[in-house]
Amino acid sequence: MIELKWDKLKNLLPKNPNIKGLLKKIDARNQGFYTAISDKSYFDKITKFATLARKKYKHFVILGIGGSALSAKLFNDSLKKSPNIHIIDNVDPSLIIETEKKLELKKTLFLVISKSGETIETLAQFQYFKDKIAKAKLKEKDHFVFISEKNSALNIHAKKNSCEFFEIPKNIGGRFSAFTAVGLLPTALIGINIKNILDGARTAVENFRTESPTKNFSFILASIQYALSKKGKTINVLFPYCQNLKTINAFYIQLLAESIGKNNKGITPMSAKGATDQHSQLQLFTQGPNDKLFIFIEEENPKNDIAIPNSLANSPFKKPLTFSQLLKIEKIATEQSLNKNSRPNLTIKINELNEKTLGALIMLLFCSISFLGELYGINAYDQPGVKLGKEITKKLLLK
């Protein structure tokens, strides 16, 4: 399902690593993102609600920011591209007005998502659309679903107003919440099979529990990232050669930055897309500062493909070729360009982008962050810097 091509970087793996000990440390932190995926009743509730809601509503609007929106956006952009899902992940009025114009309120379900139940941006969005629903003489309980922690302000509000509520387990942080209602409810609402997503995630967890240092892909990825950061390569470039995976860059940027950037330590994530950024960033990548690790993501067997007609007199294509074959050649060329300039790189390969492989890919990235946190000796699951910004915002609002 997923392979890791990392042969040229094997020398970076520690000798005789204690994977068992690292897993013990990770388990001791009691994080639920890799254990909660076995809660069948939780996911049955999501599926049942989504099945009924699809018959009743035309538009599904996510009111949330950061980890409360990115996983749903990733699932939609990668698997469906449904015009029925709308994500308001900012408080810029232009985005709100633009989205509102697309909606028919009577046929709209709003998903209010905030782990804490106190996110300023989300509360502002909710209050705006709550007012719109009231003015349209519609019932709040018919048009709002709340996703938050148990006993949060949003949970209390949902109970008081008889609105549907889905819990985010307390031991799952926002950026790790893709396999909770945060990511899966919006995904199920547009008809994507969340069972397959969870099946894929479980295969990655099985690999995560493997104690073999040459087979545990999340450990290998984290070990390479950590070793290279100690050599001054503190920037990681995520470089998917798959158009439908473009949103994974934004998803991983938050995951890596918010988890590992602490105590004057960390890795800076960067975004690139093949083959587009061969024509913009590759000059910097090959001949600029040698301070980066490049992480390619490659789809081996894409579902869609089309042939390139050989109709030009001086065509560079000397034999029949498809666009997906051309994209693979472009990736190989980029990889070889980096190798010739001694720029470290590895490739995460998926056989085909679908629910199972995307679920496995996301869980692989989650688990690699867990290993990376332990290698750095930091808590990968808190975000004190983010909290500080929120506290300052609240103080400014009181002035």
Q: Which residues are catalytic?
A: 258, 279, 390
Among 373, 26, 16, 348, which Cα is nearest to 208's? Answer: 26
Pairing of strands 321-322, 235-241: unpaired
Q: Write the CA distances from 319 to 219, 316, 322, 325, integer angstroms.
A: 41, 9, 10, 12
Among 120, 133, 118, which Cα is nearest to 59's? Answer: 133
Segment (H or E) for 174: none
Residue the block writes with tokens 């819990």:
167
Among 13, 320, 133, which Cα is nearest to 145's? Answer: 133
Segment (H or E) for 127: helix 120-135
The neighbouring-strand residues paired with 111 are: 62, 145
b/e code 102-120 from CB counts within 10 Å (16+ = b): ebeeeebbbbbbbbbbebe
